[in-house]
Amino acid sequence: MNSKFTSADKLQQKEVRNQDTPTSRSTNLYLFILQHIYSGIQPATICKLEDIPKTTLQYHLNELKLAGIIRKIAYGTWEVSDTAIFDLKRSTKEVQITSNKFKRSTKKEVRKHDRSSNSNLRIGLNSKYMTADKLQQKEVRTQDTPQGRSTNSNLRIRTNSKYMTADKLQQKEVRKQDRSTNSYLCILQHIYSGIQPATICKLEGIPKTTLQYQLNKLKHAGAIHKVAYGTWEVSDTAIFDLKRSSKTLHVGKDKVHQNSNFLTQDSVRGHGFVFTLKLVEGLRNWERREEFLVKNNIEFKRLKIIGGGQSLTVKGRKIWLTNKSVIVYEKSSYFSRTAEEAKDYAIYKFISLIKSLERFLHADFTIKAGQQYMFRVSRQHYALVKNALAQQYDNEGKKLQVYAANGLWFLIDNSFNLHEAETVHPETAVDDNHKVQSFFNSLKDYPLTTDFILKTMNGIQDNQLLFAQNHETHIQAIEELGLGVRTLTDLLKRLEGLKN
């Protein structure tokens, strides 16, 4: 396999890229195929994205069909069954599948924690695991390398000038284990639940030395800190909040309208994201990327921009490959209570996509010896859905655009018939959205009408006129009082003169 586009040694997968073996994927291939089918991607495209032959894909499709997870609609067209709930959860940072047919495991089987067995596919990160007995195939793939994982990075987002960096942990010990989920996230969740290290070793079936190594890595990454001997605590600065999964919803662009019934007034829809990933200087063979695309029959278009570049589609997202950066155009919407939560989840999905792109191109886009990605959010829109002001403007057919000194920052839009009040400035959209959302929430709690404002202003004006009249009267009284004081003083002086 050609690895000429790799700038570091972490993607050394010559032996496994074209083989159907349990260790050639970062996560279970069944889950990847399910995700592609759920996104509406055709089998031919799935083969290109996952770099597998058609026979292997057909084998997996048949197994998923027998398990009742997918069904065939027409030739080359599949659909995820209604009984299978396909949910992407940020808290566990992995794909989870729940199906009525996947609940056959017993408590005895759960406690064995046989995560390396090909006969049981472990799904989830909690202490209670489900087993998928119908996927007892040797194609179940595990996470053998840190760079090949879709969930191997416990992300910490920091601002560095105009770029942000996302740290990821290198798992030296995990490479030696046949795990189907990320052990760092397992340990992090156990610590978050208050479980002691000795109990974690028993639950995860790992030696104390391995646990200590992983605890040190999490500590170094700032994810946890030591409270006392044998007692750890999840840091407040850790961006991966284990409760965030219930607060943010990821909806594809073509499914926004049909999922709009659950939305509450003035909740936030984050959309229109554009991410710019900065590439390290001197990335090996990056100037020969077009040759690689042609050689591997990957569809792309040449960009008509200064410096040139290539445009291709990966997992339904348009991606531009330029000399100094990788630009990702996110088409999905992220619904949440606040703009910050929607942005966090969008960044997590972006990092996941970049890792897939690395595998797709056999490249390494990290900086600092494979530790970080450096990127910035070039475009971001946050809309308050079902907004009262937006509904009024939409009903009257009016438009509203608000400009500041640095450009357009607020507008009213009716995308997907959601009556949205949007903040659209590339740099201040998050803060602007928070201010607008706070204003409308305050208006909802404390209604303020135009009549009330006019009456208050008229009252203030009347008071000012009264004060002015009183002021004039007071001035006259003061002048008369001053005149009386002077007259009285003169009389006293005369009286003192007569006495003398």
pLDDT band at 412 (very low <50, low <70, confident <90, very high): very high
278-289 average pLDDT score:
89
What is the three-class DSSP state of 252? coil
Most confident of 92-101, 121-130, 316-325: 316-325
Q: What does each C-alpha distance from 250 to 91, 94, 254 come to in angstroms?
A: 13, 14, 12
Whole-angstrom distance, CA of residue 418 vs CA of residue 402? 20
440-469 average pLDDT score:
79
Give the range among 159-163, 240-244, 455-459, 473-477 with minimum mean pLDDT: 240-244
Give the range among 83-87, 139-143, 246-250 with minimum mean pLDDT: 139-143
Most confident of 18-22, 32-36, 374-378: 374-378
Answer whether residue 290 shows pLDDT above 80: yes
Nearest to 56 by CA among 113, 126, 137, 121: 137
> Per-residue pLDDT tens for 25-44?
434 577 788 878 877 788 98
> Per-residue pLDDT tens for 102-134?
333 333 333 333 333 333 333 333 333 333 333
Q: What does each C-alpha distance from 377 to 52, 108, 328, 429 come to in angstroms?
A: 33, 47, 10, 11
Task: Give pLDDT, residue 260.
Answer: 58
| Annotated domain spans of the chain | 247-445, 451-500
How many angstroms from the chain centroid is the CA of residue 381?
14
Higher pLDDT among residues 8 and 72, named by residue: 72
Average pLDDT, the chain: 72
